[in-house]
């Protein structure tokens, strides 16, 4: 066909199946129970071997021609892995290895502040870390990783999420901003702890964004969360104990439908936000968080040479 016009169907164009996805949707609670078709067409699945063990299964999807990766943080068939035992390092490292540059992570926290209620979609802009036993860095035993944490979440990604949420029509309330406190779990918090967190300025309480957000920053991956409020935190409302119910009554029965609807809105919203940013340059601190170490010659271009193996033995 040299020298001949090419029919439109033969124009050079990479298909979604041949493109390398740069976006990971990191599913939180309820990710294993989405409506059929919410994520589009499944193209492949794999677990990634990392220095920190195997990642959770990483699924490659295509939705309306847009390719992306999806990982369910807590399991494939149900809530199989509680927050303290998620292998955060393996999951984030796997994302980097696969070429991911942006992660949108969902989480299902409880409401501390009275301005939030179950079923709300919230886009936090700050975090308090009260985890205790989780490996929290890739740089154990090394002289790197002293990174500024403001803004703690990627602002361009948060703004894209807010715009996508605003286009999502009526239904669940959408609220920008708020401080998320991350606790160790798997137990829920006491009323005294919630009062303490409220005085510290926390609006929401959950168990999953730490160290996930910090690990993404260490590998220069943009990261932003979307929280769908699943319950009231202990003591935030006067709620009777309900034997055998989810959260033992901290989610009123009247709020269950709104919570489910909020969760089911997340995939389309996240994909729309990622799609809006796809192909653009990343002009944010996340993309260059390790720059001063590069300038000093401490690290090179290959991120695999930055990290330490588990145990902090260095290389």
Interval 97-131: pLDDT, tens: 999 999 999 999 999 999 999 999 999 999 999 99
Q: What is the DSSP-derived secondary structure letter of residue 10? A: G
Pairwise CA distance, residues 37 & 21, whole Å: 19
pLDDT of residue 11: 29
In terms of pLDDT, which residue wins out, 3 or 96?
Answer: 96
In the chain, pLDDT over 70 holds for what percent of residues? 92
- Class level of CATH domain 17-305: alpha beta
Give the E-state strand segments of the chain in sequence order: 23-27, 41-46, 49-50, 53-54, 58-63, 66-72, 102-107, 110-111, 121-123, 126-130, 174-176, 179-183, 204-206, 222-228, 231-232
Region 62-66: mean pLDDT is 97
Residue with the two structure tokens 């802009």 = 125
Average pLDDT over residues 54-63: 98
Instruction: Give the pLDDT of residue 19.
Output: 80
pLDDT at residue 5, rounded to an integer = 39
Give CA separation, 116 vs 17, 111, 166, in Å.
Answer: 40, 6, 17
What pLDDT does 169 receive? Answer: 59
Q: How confident is the model at residue 14 (pLDDT cuts 50, 70, 90)?
A: very low
Asked if residue 82 has pLDDT above 70, the reply is yes
Q: What is the pLDDT of residues 249-300, one digit of tens each?
A: 889 888 999 999 999 999 999 999 999 999 899 999 999 999 999 999 999 9
pLDDT greater than 70 at residue 205: yes
Domain boundaries, the chain: 17-305
- Please give the helix or strand (H or E) that residue 295 lies within, else none: helix 291-295
Q: Evaluate if residue 236 carries a pLDDT over 50.
A: yes
Whether the CB-CB separation of 222 and 284 falls below 8 Å is answered with yes
pLDDT at 213: 98
pLDDT bin (cut points 50, 70, 90) of residue 221 is: very high
Contact 104, 310 (CB under 8 A): no
State how far the alpha carbon of 146 is from the alpha carbons of 8, 54, 289, in Å. 52, 27, 10
Angle at 104 between CA 227 and CA 233, to 5 degrees: 15
pLDDT value, residue 17: 56
Q: Which of 177, 147, 62, 154 is nearest to 105 (CA)?
A: 154
How much is the pLDDT for 8? Answer: 36
**Side-chain-side CA neighbours of residue 40 (13 Å):** 22
How would you class 75 by CB atoms within 10 Å of its CB: exposed for 0-12, middle for 13-18, buried for 19 or more? Answer: middle
Give yes or no for a contact between 84 and 134, defined as CB atoms under 8 angstroms apart: yes
Token pair of 175, please?
């609220």
Sequence-distant (6+) residues with CB within 8 A of 8 are: none
Residue 315 pLDDT:
36
Beta bridge pairs of residue 168: none
Sign of CA dihedral 285, 49, 31, 243: negative
- 128 burial via Cβ count (<10 Å: 0-12, 13-18, 19+): middle
In this predicted structure, what is the pLDDT of residue 2? Answer: 38
Residues with Cβ < 8 Å from 247, sequence gap 6 or more?
110, 188, 230, 231
Average pLDDT of the chain?
A: 92
Residues 83-101 have a mean pLDDT of 98
Spatial CA neighbour of 205 closest among 223, 184, 219: 184
**Please, where are the H alpha helices in 134-247?**
155-166, 191-199, 212-218
Counting residues of the chain whose pLDDT is more than 90, the rounded percentage is 84
Instruction: Kindly indicate the confidence band of residue 233, based on its pLDDT and cuts at 50, 70 and 90.
Output: very high
pLDDT at 171: 80
Inform me whether the pLDDT recorded for 15 exceeds 80: no
DSSP annotation of 236: T
Determine the Cα–Cα distance for residues 239 and 225; give it in Å rounded to an integer: 28
Per the CB < 8 A criterion, the answer to whether 144 and 313 are in contact is no
């Amino acid at each position: 066909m040299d020298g001949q016009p090419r029919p439109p169907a033969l124009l050079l164009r990479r298909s979604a199946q041949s493109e390398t996805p740069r976006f990971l949707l990191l599913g939180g609670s309820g990710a294993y129970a989405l409506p059929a078709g919410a994520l589009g067409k499944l193209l492949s699945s794999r677990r990634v071997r990392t220095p920190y063990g195997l990642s959770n299964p990483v699924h490659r999807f295509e939705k309306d021609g847009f390719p992306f990766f999806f990982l369910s943080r807590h399991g494939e068939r149900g809530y199989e892995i509680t927050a303290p035992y998620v292998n955060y390092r393996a999951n984030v490292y796997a994302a980097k290895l696969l070429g991911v540059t942006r992660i949108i992570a969902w989480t299902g926290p409880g409401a501390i502040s009275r301005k939030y209620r179950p079923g709300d979609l919230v886009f936090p802009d700050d975090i308090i870390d009260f985890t205790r036993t989780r490996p929290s860095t890739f740089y154990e035993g090394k002289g790197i990783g002293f990174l500024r944490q403001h803004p703690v979440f990627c602002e361009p990604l948060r703004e894209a999420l807010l715009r996508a949420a605003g286009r999502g029509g009526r239904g669940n309330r959408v609220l920008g901003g708020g401080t998320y406190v991350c606790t160790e779990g798997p137990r829920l918090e006491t009323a005294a702890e919630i009062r303490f967190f409220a005085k510290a300025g926390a609006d929401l309480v959950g168990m999953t964004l730490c160290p996930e957000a910090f690990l993404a920053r260490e590998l220069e991956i943009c990261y932003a969360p979307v929280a769908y409020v699943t319950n009231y935190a202990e003591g935030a409302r006067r709620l009777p104990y309900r034997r055998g119910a989810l959260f033992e009554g901290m989610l009123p029965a009247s709020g269950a439908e709104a919570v489910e609807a909020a969760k089911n809105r997340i995939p389309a919203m996240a994909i729309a936000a990622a799609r809006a940013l796809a192909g653009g340059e990343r002009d944010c601190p996340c993309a260059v968080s390790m720059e001063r170490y590069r300038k000093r010659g401490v690290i090179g271009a290959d991120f695999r040479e930055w990290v330490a193996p588990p145990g902090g033995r260095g290389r």
